[in-house]
Structure 1
Amino acid sequence: MAAAQQPSAGLAEMKNRLISELSPRQSGGEQLRLHILWLLMIRVLLFTLLIAITVVLQTKGRDIILPPPAVTMAFLSVVFIYSIGSAGLLQNMVRHLPRFGLLQLLSDAIFAALLVAGTGCSQSIFTPVFLFPVIAGGMSLSRTGGLIAAAATSILYGGILACEYLGYIPRFYAQTRYVPPTEYLTLTNVYAVYGLTFFTIGFLSNLLAGRLRKTEEVLSQTFVQFDRLHLLYKQVFDDIGTGIITVDGRNRITSCNPAFERISGFNAAELLGLPFGNFFPAGMLTETDQSRQVADLQRKDGAMTRVRHTFATLNLPPDPALNDPGEAQCKVITVQDVSLLEQMERQMRNTEKMAAIGELSAAIAHDFRNPIAAISGSAQLLKNVHAADSSPDPLSRANRHLTEIILRESVRMEKTITDFLQFARPQALTLEWFDLRRLCEETIRQVKGRESCPLSAAMELDIPDHLDCWADRQLVQILLAHLLENSCAAAAQTGQWPVLVRARESEASGRNCVCLTVLDHGPGIAEELREVVFTPFFSTKANCAGLGLSIVRQLAEQHGGRVRLLEPETGTGCVVEVCLPLPGLPEEF
């Protein structure tokens, strides 16, 4: 069966190719060159077959007028040599192809005239050969090609009939059945019939060729548009991020795009032609409820992924080549991987929940400040009373000790609540110019007065005089206080002093800014902790909320600046740099 179909397919392909090559074209170009070459081949075959068939029939006893064999062979030789020479010239000819084609049509007309003149003139059976250049002219050349060939054949045929009437005929006619015409009206009638036929065929060939040209132009434009549409479809099908898979009427997979291959893990070669239900949930082809079009899809590696899918039925026109009409009932399924989207939605819900918890916590912390202030004030009064009591009584000493604990823990809780509220509810900026060195001096005195600062703490400034900064003075003071407290605590562990505060006006990311740097000679920050030290509630110290550096980063970013950890110059310690932009420039950098 398959072997029988292959030859028929080959013949059909050859037929289509021949029709395409012989279809009419405008003059010029490679197509016209190919047409002329085909005309040369048809000329040789036509004259050879006509003369060969006539010679065979004559040997069978048919009374046909033919010139002597020597003349016949000479005529065929001239046709062969002229055609071969023309084909050689055609291969190297670039310009004047229409003129060359017209010359070949005129040559065909002359060859046809010689054949008719040598085989009986008005009584020749080869007179219809004149139609060959007429039809060829209309098909290959411009709209006037057929009419020019018709005019040439009419003139040549008229000349043949005139010579016949005047008696200028070949001598070998005397040995044939040739009967000379006696009335010129008979020749005139023959000429009128054939001449009118030549021009009619020429006109019709031109008309048919023109319509074929228009049809071919429209078909060519249609092919171009179809190719562009096909390319666009293929580009969209291959590049779209949504997975697309198609199935036929029997739910067998017919195609899938690369996005679906990425989602499912299967290659297209592993899926094509196989039932859809063998790999994926059959419900994906039946569910129409939009709220239920989400399913768990098992990938090739066994992992489950969450997908949202839709499908549509395509009622294509039936293909005559298909025996089953159901093959035209195709379905298109689109698949989107929503596992990441659902994960982001869960994270967003968790974020909203944490934000609500944060707001509630901030409100609770704010409400705690009043009771803590009352407790702290009462403890301070008790401390003053016990300070006046110098009795060695154990109960008095215990009361003094407990009062100190209450005061100390109240102060720590007050600081924790203040830090938490500062982080949870950052206040609006009030930008102004201020002397950065004076602010740093005030902050150092403030930090030294706190109980958390060691008595041995030593802090130095390396800030030029009159270095002004554009920021919120109070928030920058809070930022610097947190950095100094951390640096003093770190320096106290190693006993290496002083803590240095340095400030310079510099350029960061192409923008002018003021960079404030705090350096200490403590144990430093481990490499694996450098990425998490700015995370809220992260701390390596006991009895610490872990909000100091988080507040520093928040305040820096609130000003449109940045904070980062630098490598210490001495190899030990910690260096924190805060850069705040100057006014008149973009806020974020």
Structure 2
Amino acid sequence: MNAIHNWLNNFIPVEDSDQQLKQHILSFIFVRVCLFTLLVTVPSIFHIQAHNLILPNLHISIAFLVVVVFFSVCSVLIVRRTALSLKRFGVIQLLADIGFTALLVYASGCSHSIFTPLFILPIIVGGLILYKLGGLIPAAAATISYAIVLGVEYVGAVPRYFQNTAYEPPLDPFTVLNLFAVYGITFFVIAIISGQLAGRLRRTEKELSKTVLEFDRLSLLYKQIFDDITTGIITTDEKNIITSYNNAAERITGCPTKRVMGIDLHTCFPEIQLTGDKERNVCHMERSDGTVIRVGYSFSQLGVPAASENDDGHSYCKVVTLQDISKIELMEKQMREAEKMAAIGELSASIAHDFRNPLAAISGSAQILAMDYDEDDIAKTGTGKTLVGIILRESKRMATTITDFLQFARPEAAVQKWFDLDRLITEVTEKTMPLYEQFELGNVVKDIEIHLNCWGDQQQIQTILTHLIDNTRSISDAEQAVKVAIRAFETNRKNINYTCIEVCDTGPGIPTMLQKKVFTPFFSTREDGTGLGLAIVKQLIDNHNGIIEIDSDNDYGCIIRLFLPHPEVITH
């Protein structure tokens, strides 16, 4: 059983051509043994009833079969255990078959032999496994071998047991030549035809293998695209039964593939309606986890043939594509809000800019009016100066508010370069501290690394420090002075080099619930505040691709920490 199973495996197609040729040769050897055994033994059995058959006696038949089997076994052992040219070995096997056939024809009546057509078998096999040359060589060998058999017969060198049969030797040489010509031409015609058929079969197999390979690649590509595409894809048959369902559809709807395959689409997803506009449809869909999302979907007919010939030739299968557009619609809404706020900001900036000129005229007029009062009229002078002072103070506050608003509404691009950070901080403190003496603030303590340079827009960094120091006014107390400290050093976070600036004060700090709100425009906890100081700080830090943090420790209730990246990070 194992031997039969192994022999049947020889007919399994293989990709390696040498291995395939070896299997063909082994199969051919097996067929040779079986064929010669049957051809010699079966006629011997029927010879009892058909005395017109010319067959060798039993001893000669057994000797012939022993030679054939012995040669075949040796050939199998050689081809399996020895590395040799398979094509040359195949030609040898074909020539051996021609020789065995010639012996069988000679022993079974020469020109009267019923086994003469056996010459055709090696020719066909040679043409199929070795192509044109493999068919022509056995054809030439068969022609020569048959000519030798006829020649030997014509000169009378035939076995003696022919005399006990109905054998009649050929007396006319033209009869012998006629047989030789007919069989010789037949052998070569069969060789040419088998070679042509084998060549066409080989080309067909190559094209078929190439087509199968391309089809497999296309199928793999389709499956890869179908599984990895971010758009959900659902296909249905003519009865709206779901036939395919990709990973994106499972992710969007939250329904696993096993739950929806083979189920009606409207049963699984009643929100999807395959009617109306095919290009753009939107619906609310409830996922399996209970959340409701906005889904955009479209559908179209699949261009596939009809299921049977009785149909009208049109396919009613559909493909549905869907996407979760909740985030997209939210982004669109945010974009519209941003555009609206940008328009309002631009309009407000224009109005604020127009207010600046009249405000300057009012402030200037009030200053001139203050100088024109008569010092002798004390009551009048005191009242007038008080009113003018109010005008000047409020005008100045409005001018500051307008300046901050315009700076926030129309930020300038940062022109970055290296500068001395210690010198800049000194200039800012010397300029701002005299203005804060009325708030009884303590002196500013500086803790800056020696020769520390900062990469950034010097004017914008100065504005940032001014706003942060000004912000300490909101926590000043008449009974207790507030200590302010400015620290600066270089640091590294997540393999990125920064210049860190800390502005600290000993006030109560900013509550945790307000730390995210303080950078929002127009949010302020001061009665006289505009709510733009920290918003401008945040905007300028973002303009530098920096980071801003709010912290506290045992010494300082509020620490505003700024991280300004070095230039190699910005250009990365």
TM bracket, shorter-chain basis: 0.7 to 0.9
User: Which residue does the alignment assign to 1:97?
Assistant: 86
- Contact 1:138/1:146 (CA < 8 Å) preserved in 2? yes
Task: Specify whether residues 205 and 437 from structure 1 end up closer, same or farther in structure 2 by C-alpha distance, changes over 3 A only.
Answer: closer
- Contact 1:479/1:555 (CA < 8 Å) preserved in 2? yes
Equivalents in 1 of 2:142, 2:520: separation in Å? 100
Task: Specify whether residues 306 and 471 from structure 1 end up closer, same or farther in structure 2 by C-alpha distance, changes over 3 A only.
Answer: closer
Quick check: 1:564 aligned with 2:551?
Answer: no
Cα offset, 1:484, TM superposition: 1.3
User: Which residue does the alignment assign to 1:13?
Assistant: none
AA matched with 1:137: G
Cα offset, 1:445, TM superposition: 4.3
User: Which residue does the alignment assign to 2:19?
Assistant: 30
User: Which residue does the alignment assign to 2:283?
Assistant: 295
- Contact 2:541/2:548 (CA < 8 Å) preserved in 1? no
Cα offset, 1:97, TM superposition: 0.6
What SS does structure 2 have at the residue aligned with 1:143?
helix
Task: Specify whether residues 188 and 477 from structure 1 end up closer, same or farther in structure 2 by C-alpha distance, changes over 3 A only.
Answer: closer
Task: Specify whether residues 41 and 298 from structure 1 end up closer, same or farther in structure 2 by C-alpha distance, changes over 3 A only.
Answer: farther
- Contact 1:496/1:522 (CA < 8 Å) preserved in 2? no
What SS does structure 1 have at the residue aligned with 2:39?
helix
Equivalents in 2 of 1:354, 1:405: separation in Å? 34
Task: Specify whether residues 62 and 364 from structure 1 end up closer, same or farther in structure 2 by C-alpha distance, changes over 3 A only.
Answer: farther
AA matched with 1:565: E
User: Which residue does the alignment assign to 1:554?
Assistant: 539
Cα offset, 1:138, TM superposition: 0.2
Equivalents in 2 of 1:67, 1:327: separation in Å? 71
Q: How does 1:23-102 map to 2 (within 5 A)?
A: 29-61=18-50, 63-102=52-91
Cα offset, 1:86, TM superposition: 2.0
Equivalents in 2 of 1:441, 1:282: separation in Å? 67
Equivalents in 1 of 2:232, 2:95: separation in Å? 64
User: Which residue does the alignment assign to 1:311?
Assistant: 299
Q: How does 1:100-499 map to 2 (within 5 A)?
A: 100-281=89-270, 284-288=273-277, 290=279, 292-318=280-306, 328-363=315-350, 415-427=400-412, 437=422, 439-450=424-435, 454-462=439-447, 475-487=460-472, 489-490=474-475, 498-499=483-484
Cα offset, 1:561, TM superposition: 5.4
- Contact 2:551/2:561 (CA < 8 Å) preserved in 1? no
* Range with bigger deviation, 177-186 or 112-121: 177-186
- Contact 1:488/1:499 (CA < 8 Å) preserved in 2? no
- Once the two structures are superposed, residues 288-337 of structure 1 have per-residue CA deviations (whole angstroms, 9 ceiling, x without a partner) of 454x53333443344433233333323434567x8767685433222222
* Range with bigger deviation, 309-318 or 259-268: 309-318
User: Which residue does the alignment assign to 2:5?
Assistant: none
Cα offset, 1:253, TM superposition: 2.1
- Once the two structures are superposed, residues 412-441 of structure 1 have per-residue CA deviations (whole angstroms, 9 ceiling, x without a partner) of 666555433332233566889987555544
Cα offset, 1:281, TM superposition: 4.6
Length-normalised TM-score, structure 2: 0.81
- Contact 1:146/1:205 (CA < 8 Å) preserved in 2? yes
- Contact 2:278/2:299 (CA < 8 Å) preserved in 1? no
Cα offset, 1:403, TM superposition: 10
Cα offset, 1:129, TM superposition: 0.9
Task: Specify whether residues 333 and 466 from structure 1 end up closer, same or farther in structure 2 by C-alpha distance, changes over 3 A only.
Answer: closer
Equivalents in 2 of 1:237, 1:48: separation in Å? 59
Cα offset, 1:357, TM superposition: 3.3
- Contact 2:444/2:484 (CA < 8 Å) preserved in 1? yes
- Contact 1:534/1:550 (CA < 8 Å) preserved in 2? yes
What SS does structure 1 have at the residue aligned with 2:445?
strand
* Range with bigger deviation, 527-536 or 156-165: 527-536
- Contact 1:21/1:34 (CA < 8 Å) preserved in 2? no
AA matched with 1:553: K
Equivalents in 1 of 2:348, 2:220: separation in Å? 59
- Contact 2:366/2:392 (CA < 8 Å) preserved in 1? no
User: Which residue does the alignment assign to 2:4?
Assistant: none
What SS does structure 2 have at the residue aligned with 1:285?
coil
- Once the two structures are superposed, residues 226-258 of structure 1 have per-residue CA deviations (whole angstroms, 9 ceiling, x without a partner) of 223222222222222222222223332222222
Length-normalised TM-score, structure 1: 0.79
Equivalents in 1 of 2:81, 2:516: separation in Å? 76
- Once the two structures are superposed, residues 480-529 of structure 1 have per-residue CA deviations (whole angstroms, 9 ceiling, x without a partner) of 12111334655759958642234568899999986544233444456676
What SS does structure 1 have at the residue aligned with 2:439?
coil
Equivalents in 2 of 1:111, 1:100: separation in Å? 17
Cα offset, 1:190, TM superposition: 1.5
What SS does structure 1 have at the residue aligned with 2:295?
strand
What SS does structure 1 have at the residue aligned with 2:38?
helix
Task: Specify whether residues 439 and 124 from structure 1 end up closer, same or farther in structure 2 by C-alpha distance, changes over 3 A only.
Answer: closer
AA matched with 2:205: E
AA matched with 1:355: A
- Contact 1:150/1:202 (CA < 8 Å) preserved in 2? yes
Cα offset, 1:187, TM superposition: 2.1
- Contact 2:440/2:481 (CA < 8 Å) preserved in 1? no
Equivalents in 1 of 2:478, 2:18: separation in Å? 92
Cα offset, 1:268, TM superposition: 3.0
* Range with bigger deviation, 90-99 or 142-151: 90-99
What SS does structure 2 have at the residue aligned with 1:237?
helix
Equivalents in 2 of 1:238, 1:468: separation in Å? 54
Equivalents in 1 of 2:414, 2:189: separation in Å? 97
Cα offset, 1:131, TM superposition: 0.7
Cα offset, 1:174, TM superposition: 2.9
AA matched with 2:127: G
- Contact 2:439/2:477 (CA < 8 Å) preserved in 1? yes
Equivalents in 2 of 1:47, 1:65: separation in Å? 16
Aligned length: 560
What SS does structure 1 have at the residue aligned with 2:317?
strand
- Contact 1:284/1:309 (CA < 8 Å) preserved in 2? no
- Once the two structures are superposed, residues 322-360 of structure 1 have per-residue CA deviations (whole angstroms, 9 ceiling, x without a partner) of 876768543322222222211111111122222233334
Task: Specify whether residues 467 and 160 from structure 1 end up closer, same or farther in structure 2 by C-alpha distance, changes over 3 A only.
Answer: closer
| Runs (5+) with no aligned partner, structure 2 | 1-7
Cα offset, 1:102, TM superposition: 0.8
Cα offset, 1:201, TM superposition: 0.7
Cα offset, 1:74, TM superposition: 3.0
- Contact 2:10/2:23 (CA < 8 Å) preserved in 1? no
Task: Specify whether residues 91 and 169 from structure 1 end up closer, same or farther in structure 2 by C-alpha distance, changes over 3 A only.
Answer: same
Equivalents in 1 of 2:127, 2:271: separation in Å? 62
Cα offset, 1:213, TM superposition: 1.7
Task: Specify whether residues 83 and 301 from structure 1 end up closer, same or farther in structure 2 by C-alpha distance, changes over 3 A only.
Answer: farther
Task: Specify whether residues 470 and 163 from structure 1 end up closer, same or farther in structure 2 by C-alpha distance, changes over 3 A only.
Answer: closer
- Contact 2:550/2:559 (CA < 8 Å) preserved in 1? yes
| Runs (5+) with no aligned partner, structure 1 | 1-15
What SS does structure 1 have at the residue aligned with 2:504?
strand
